[in-house]
């Protein structure tokens, strides 16, 4: 009898590998081909498709002391709004955060698994993974999700981390095959990603301070919401605002809602015509 | 084929227990002591990279005495157990009691079925938050599990260290500074020599911390406390 039978026995420091080997039912990306295909908006209503909530515009940009990551709050299911206050920006560990676009359920699952993965490694090995190591690991998880993509369940992360060795914030984007690409200044993904990228291209400057960079990010989300039905703008009636996090040498901090609200109130006051 | 000699079960268990005890007593002691804001873990450990004390989960820490390879194996298995529970259910569902039971089962089975018992003694401690009490579990090589109050000692001449701590116990939990001083004098008394602060491995589970309560104290932190 294996003496460790009451405790899970495994070699290696990856929680993701541990789940794959011992609890494949808990791992995202394990799929059943007989499942009906999840519907992208155009497929909605066709027999054999399921509507799945989708996340929309998230963005990241660098500033003088690190990087900012932000996202809107709307999830859509075809032409319906599935959720008005979904959270798309996740704290991953002390120095990194990730934002997601795609099918909401698998996205949130991936964020949770990635958090556990990094903490697990840190506890087993006694040191944190390097910023580069974390980004690569996320790429492998996106790659493992590829079978789900053919089922219509796309998960697209945007990752920011503070690199303690290089003393700078870093931004990584991914493709569905797990390809990992580093962005030098800013990037945005999701249905309103193109609109947000256009805004950032116009307003981004090297070495922005925190306040200015946050303003550019929030403006980009505002413009994306203006152009894209899938992206939610600031909801003044219900008091729902996009969320943002900042990673810097001091670690990760949430941008308080009051600060986001104040920036939006100024922005809206400048644009108000009646 | 020659028949194996008959050994009575009592004799076999006794031999195994003696073997394990001898292995554990060879090492140095580790103390877990309740202080004002949580639990402090202190070990006499000359190595700065091979840890005896480590984090398991938000409120839970692990300490192992005896054979390094064996308790390191148990430590990793415990972290997997905790992370799996936390991932499957929620972070608050990970408890020291469940983990200690799993350790107890594993050690008990290994003791009775394997030729060589594990030469380890471990501590699983959990800091209480929101008015909950702290929990300190001591698990021996044979899987026996003891729920300790206010302090626990494993490894080395643990009886003598326990004796010292019992004599110097206070009705109220000490501050971190006083608690750590008490641990150090207990370890020094039994080692009959000075222990320099770089040979002291110290970690705390501090209930006032946000999220993960575990923190390692560097030798600079320790020197500051002893000024």
**CA distances (Å), A79 to each of A53, A54, A82, A232, B136, in order?**
10, 11, 9, 13, 55
Q: Could you give the CA distance from residue A115 to residue A93 in angstroms, rounded to a whole number?
A: 7
Contact of B214 with B135, CB cutoff 8 Å: no
B81 to A7: CB separation less than 8 angstroms, yes or no: yes
Q: Which positions ≥6 away from B3 have C-beta within 8 Å?
A: none
Q: What is the pLDDT along chain A (274 residues), one digit of tens a residue?
A: 354 556 777 888 999 999 988 888 888 876 555 555 555 444 434 444 556 667 689 999 999 999 999 999 999 888 889 999 999 999 999 999 999 998 888 999 999 999 999 999 999 999 999 999 999 999 999 999 998 888 888 899 999 999 999 999 999 999 999 999 999 999 999 999 999 999 999 999 999 999 999 999 999 999 999 999 999 999 999 999 999 999 999 999 999 999 999 999 999 999 998 7
Contact of B126 with B60, CB cutoff 8 Å: yes
- A26 contacts in B (CB within 8 Å)? 87-88
Best mutation target, B83, B85, B122, B201, to test chain A (most A CBs within 10 A): B83
ipTM score of complex? 0.92
- A21 contacts in B (CB within 8 Å)? none
Contact of A124 with B79, CB cutoff 8 Å: yes
Q: Which of A3, A8, A112 sits opposite B80 (nearest CB)?
A: A8
- B84 contacts in A (CB within 8 Å)? 8, 18-19, 23
- Supply the pLDDT for residue A149: 87
Q: Could you give the CA distance from residue A242 to residue B101 in angstroms, rounded to a whole number?
A: 45
pLDDT digits (tens, 9 = 90+) for B106-135: 999 999 988 899 999 999 999 999 999 999
Chain A: closest CA distance from residue B170 (Å): 34
Architecture of domain A52-271: 4-Layer Sandwich (3.60)
B79 to A10: CB separation less than 8 angstroms, yes or no: no
Q: What is the pLDDT along chain B (227 residues), one digit of tens a residue?
A: 677 788 898 998 999 999 999 989 888 999 999 999 999 999 999 998 899 999 999 999 999 999 999 999 999 999 999 999 999 999 999 999 999 999 999 999 999 988 899 999 999 999 999 999 999 999 999 999 999 999 999 999 999 999 999 999 999 999 999 999 999 999 999 988 899 888 999 999 999 999 899 999 998 899 888 87
Phi, psi of A177 (to 5 degrees): -90, 5
Q: What domains can be seen in chain B, in order of their start residue?
A: 27-226 (3.60.20.10)
Q: Could you give the CA distance from residue A104 to residue A87 in angstroms, rounded to a whole number?
A: 10
Kindly list the domain boundaries of chain A, sorted by start residue.
52-271
**CA distances (Å), B173 to each of A189, B38, B182, B194, in order?**
53, 9, 12, 25
Contact of A95 with A164, CB cutoff 8 Å: yes
- Which positions in chain A have a beta carbon within 8 angstroms of at least one beta carbon in chain B? 1, 3-10, 15, 18-19, 23, 26, 112-113, 116, 119-120, 123-124, 126
For residue A34, indicate whether it is catalytic.
no
- For the record, the structure tokens of B138 come out as 């001591």
- Supply the pLDDT for residue A1: 38
End-to-end CA distance of chain B: 69
- A114 contacts in B (CB within 8 Å)? none
């Amino acid at each position: 009898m294996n003496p460790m039978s009451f405790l899970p026995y495994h070699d290696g420091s990856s929680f993701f590998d541990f789940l794959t080997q011992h609890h494949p039912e808990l791992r995202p990306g394990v799929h059943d081909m007989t499942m009906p295909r999840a519907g992208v908006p155009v497929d909605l209503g066709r027999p054999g498709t399921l509507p799945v909530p989708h996340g929309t515009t998230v963005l990241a940009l660098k500033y003088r002391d690190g990087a900012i990551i932000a996202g809107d709050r709307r999830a859509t299911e075809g032409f319906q709004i599935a959720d008005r206050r979904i959270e798309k920006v996740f704290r991953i560990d002390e120095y990194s955060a990730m934002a997601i676009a795609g099918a909401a359920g698998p996205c949130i699952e991936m964020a949770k698994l990635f958090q556990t993965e990094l903490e697990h490694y840190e506890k087993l090995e006694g040191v944190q993974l390097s910023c580069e190591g974390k980004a690569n690991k996320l790429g492998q998880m996106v790659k493992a999700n590829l079978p789900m993509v053919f089922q219509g369940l796309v998960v697209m992360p945007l990752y920011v981390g503070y690199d303690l060795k290089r003393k700078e914030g870093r931004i990584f984007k991914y493709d569905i095959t797990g390809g990992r690409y580093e962005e030098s200044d800013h990037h945005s993904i999701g249905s309103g990603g193109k609109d947000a990228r256009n805004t950032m291209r116009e307003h981004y400057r090297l070495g922005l301070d925190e306040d200015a960079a946050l303003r550019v990010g929030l403006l980009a989300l505002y413009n994306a919401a203006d152009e894209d039905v899938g992206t939610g703008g600031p909801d003044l009636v219900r008091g729902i605002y996009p969320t943002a996090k900042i990673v810097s040498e001091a670690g990760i901090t949430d941008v308080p809602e009051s600060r986001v609200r104040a920036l939006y109130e100024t922005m809206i006051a400048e644009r108000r015509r009646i | 084929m020659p028949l194996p000699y008959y050994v009575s079960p009592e004799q076999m268990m006794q031999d195994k227990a003696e073997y394990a005890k001898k292995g554990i007593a060879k090492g140095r002691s580790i103390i877990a002591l309740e202080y004002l804001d949580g639990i402090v873990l202190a070990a006499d450990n000359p190595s700065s990279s091979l840890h005896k004390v480590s984090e398991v989960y938000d409120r839970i820490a692990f300490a192992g005495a005896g054979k390094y390879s064996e308790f390191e194996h148990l430590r990793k298995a415990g972290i997997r157990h905790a992370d799996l529970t936390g991932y499957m259910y929620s972070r608050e569902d990970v408890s020291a009691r469940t983990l200690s039971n799993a350790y107890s089962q594993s050690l008990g089975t290994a003791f009775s079925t394997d030729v060589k018992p594990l030469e380890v003694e471990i501590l699983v401690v959990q800091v209480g938050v929101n008015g909950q009490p702290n929990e300190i579990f001591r698990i021996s090589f044979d899987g026996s599990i003891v729920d300790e109050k206010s302090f626990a000692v494993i490894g080395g001449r643990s009886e003598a260290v326990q004796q010292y701590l019992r004599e110097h116990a206070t009705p109220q939990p000490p501050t971190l500074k006083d608690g750590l001083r008490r641990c150090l004098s207990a370890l020094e008394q039994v080692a009959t020599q000075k222990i320099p602060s770089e040979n002291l491995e110290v970690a705390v589970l501090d209930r006032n911390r946000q999220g993960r309560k575990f923190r390692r104290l560097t030798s600079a932190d320790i020197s500051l406390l002893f000024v």
